[in-house]
Chains A and B, each alone.
Chain A
């Protein structure tokens, strides 16, 4: 309660020339965040939005970036400090982006916007307005606007992104593929299926060139193409594409789960601590691990979204393909395992074990997963 009254600032009380603006809307600021004391807001509403969106996670790390820098005597020290700041900013950009991405996949569009805006601002600060690194943040913003229903805003963001890409000579391929994917998503929402298909074809092409044709990261494009064909009623094409998506995710998830369950056996022998019970040694290391973790979370959220929708479609088919259903259920159990939702894992493993003609390898993997859970 005392915190709430302490966070008011008066614009007229600022020193001459300094104007503090709201984080989200750039209006003159009336409130300050108590914990870091470098972030300003115009009213409580914006403060709460920002807190839930991104500020909760990056509150402390914003301090070194926004505090006015003291004078350091030697050139080397100044250089070193600049280097450190640069690294911190880069890490922060990655981190905020992955958080925003995760919220996007979970469907929480409003929450994703502050993170994306922060990352965009940081990139503009660091690289300028014409760099290609702006594009992923624009894409996230575009997708969030589309999710909230604001198609014209989304179109604007995406056009900006496209212009940046066209203007820069060497755009890295994953960014290109994401761009085309988002443009296609917007076109699907508008109903322009032909152009969406063309853009998705471009997306899959670039993603395949970057990651290889069997990688799970190409599957997002395939999923969207399949959705279009499903809407157009071309069931055979959609069916073969869905199968491909499931195969790709299946292979990837199996690999990750096997690695995790294997390591745990060795760890119990050696008495190592689990990865999650880590202590925060330094701030930087924390950030790196956090970024990896949130990237994993983002891909888990994507997997959940994709697999659940395919599962629904398959269950509602007139002649259900049992082998395919088994595969999807296995994938879902693995996703929940990686997300540490063990009760749901239990549901799926019971469902799978009740099926008679289960593959031997699958069965043994299930056993390992259950064993791992019980060790916890």
Chain B
């Protein structure tokens, strides 16, 4: 009996069982624990938290394990779970000036109040595979590095933002202070993004946007598709306190710390008919230790401000609909992969159409050549 290629429930269940088996891999290997993922693949966890838009290291580690290390799939798992979570309220804005800084670098000043703090970084490491790490952890400790030495003196607790230093001279465009009657920032996880999008919504979209996409756009800005001349004013990383004001208390309470990476990019601006020359800002803020993404984000944020600064839009990074509609990898991955779903009804209608158009075109051609032959015959007859 003829059966069209259609998947029954059994086929789907079997496919998922097969995937679970592949995920586990060789049973002779010890299974990964969430603690191992959280501790030893911390930057993967950070990326999944950022793009999954949920700060929970344990859930991110679970998602990474379930997704077999596919971080885009893991971010999707976290997002889908996030949908089901109740919302208790909004925190106060986090104050990154009060961050417990573990890393802080500025490219614009050799030294500055609070100093340069290198912190944990891949920078200046030679990217040579470290075969000591390949040794099995079970046999002789696995060649793991000993702990890092402690600094001789604690860091200066005062770590002013570099942009605040420029601000005091009036050299950098001030961030507009929140007006008392201004509406609270929007929330792209509750309301659809509409265009033109204000900066709060742009920053939210970028903060959970795909790192690869932002990296490419930021790179394009540097190569001339958007004409920016950026300097890293400052990158800072470390834990920041999150505070909420419960209605019944009426004052702020600290509910814990989250690790953040913040990047403030200082950009040249030559001025326009409307504004004197001044430095302008690009801003990046990402969950966890995600320096590359925070930097790319700050480049793209600045590029998207072309409109308000009266700059000509020349590159894709300056086009807010292009950037914001395509930055989300959960949306993008879904829509790209949906092409493997059956489309045979639309395809059938296209088939019918193409066949009809071809038949008509061939009929026209045949008619034309018949007319041509007739004309040639008539000419020949006349000539005789």
Q: Do A and B come from one complex?
A: no
Interface residues of B (CB under 8 A from A): none
